Amino acid sequence: MAGNERMRPADQKIGKTKRRPDLFMVLTWVASVAAVVTLLWILESIVTPAWPAIQQTGLSFFTSTVWDVNRNRYGALPFLIGTTESSLIALLIALPLGVFIALFLSENFLPLGVRHVIRFVVELLAAIPSVVYGLWGIAVVIPLVQQFGGYLSDFLGFIPLFSGPATGNSMLTASLVLAIMVLPTITAISRTALVAVPPTLREGSYAVGATRWETIFRVLVPTAAPGIVAATILAFGRAMGETMAVAMLIGNSPRLSWSLLSPAGTLAGLLANQFGEAQGLQISALMYAALALVVLTLFVNMAGEAVLRRAEKATAGIR
């Protein structure tokens, strides 16, 4: 694609008239610069107030487990772990589920009309506001987790992951609801990727005698992998930044715990909870936490980009 002479637009100089600045080009230029400037601006306005905390706590901010406003000690490790852990568990649940739904919707198991309806309903999940997910979590998921969590801790309590007591507002509750929240992202993008696989590949696979399942898992899914990876990354990003629903369900505890049935906290939840009443160094420490969240999401997106590019290269031959 790159370097192909024919792909370049024709030269715009006509006759001997001097080339005028193209209004459209100027507009697009301004728009893209504005986006970059906004990002830098946001970063600047986080870093400046965060600076006192960065100077005082330095890297111990990421290794200390004590967040004690009273004694002006700020360690964000529990929240950092809470953010990553809840998002990873959510993906662990949503990824297989989402890919299966996407496969189901891209194959012809059901008539097209029915698939359209299912697809619409799954994508509608994305339209539900975060706070409604939180309320639903309170009404439905918390009682479930309390009950089944109780059994889990009774029978499997010797495993640290399931040690009791089982509280309703816990890591598990938050992760379950997050999984449902990111499901439409994974499903929609994976489905698009699966549908975009050239039909010739499928036909070729059938022609050499592969069954439908072999075709799906050996040909279709690997070919659509870049799209599925992209979906996963977007979902991960959304899960990490999710604030309202998680703050309502996770129990907002600054204590580290192995157990999924214990309350935990996330960076976004910490910010939402404490910012209103914060004073002095606490504001600064919260800004530092915000910076950590931004950097974390940025890092995930960059890692995702890298994986995406690699996967694209690997499948370039068959496209």
Q: State the residues that interact with another protein by CB under 8 A.
A: 66-71, 138, 142-143, 146, 164-165, 167-169, 247-248, 251-255, 263, 269, 272-274, 276-279, 282
φ, ψ at 167 (rounded to 5°): -95, 150
Least distance (Å) from another protein to the CB of residue 68?
Answer: 4
Number of helical (H) and strand (E) elements in the chain, helices listed first:
12, 2
d(CA 50, CA 303): 26
Judged by CB, which is closer to another protein: 229, or 247? Answer: 247
SS3 86: helix
Least distance (Å) from another protein to the CB of residue 183?
Answer: 25
Give the tokens for residue 170: 């816990």
Judged by CB, which is closer to another protein: 68, or 203? Answer: 68
Judged by CB, which is closer to another protein: 14, or 139? Answer: 139
d(CA 80, CA 76): 6
84-to-171, 189, 238, 247 alpha-carbon distances in Å: 11, 22, 12, 15
Judged by CB, which is closer to another protein: 55, or 279? Answer: 279
317-to-197, 293, 311, 312 alpha-carbon distances in Å: 13, 38, 11, 9
> For residue 232, how far is the Cα from the chain centroid?
7
Least distance (Å) from another protein to the CB of residue 138?
Answer: 6
Least distance (Å) from another protein to the CB of residue 180?
Answer: 19
Least distance (Å) from another protein to the CB of residue 146?
Answer: 7
Judged by CB, which is closer to another protein: 47, or 66? Answer: 66
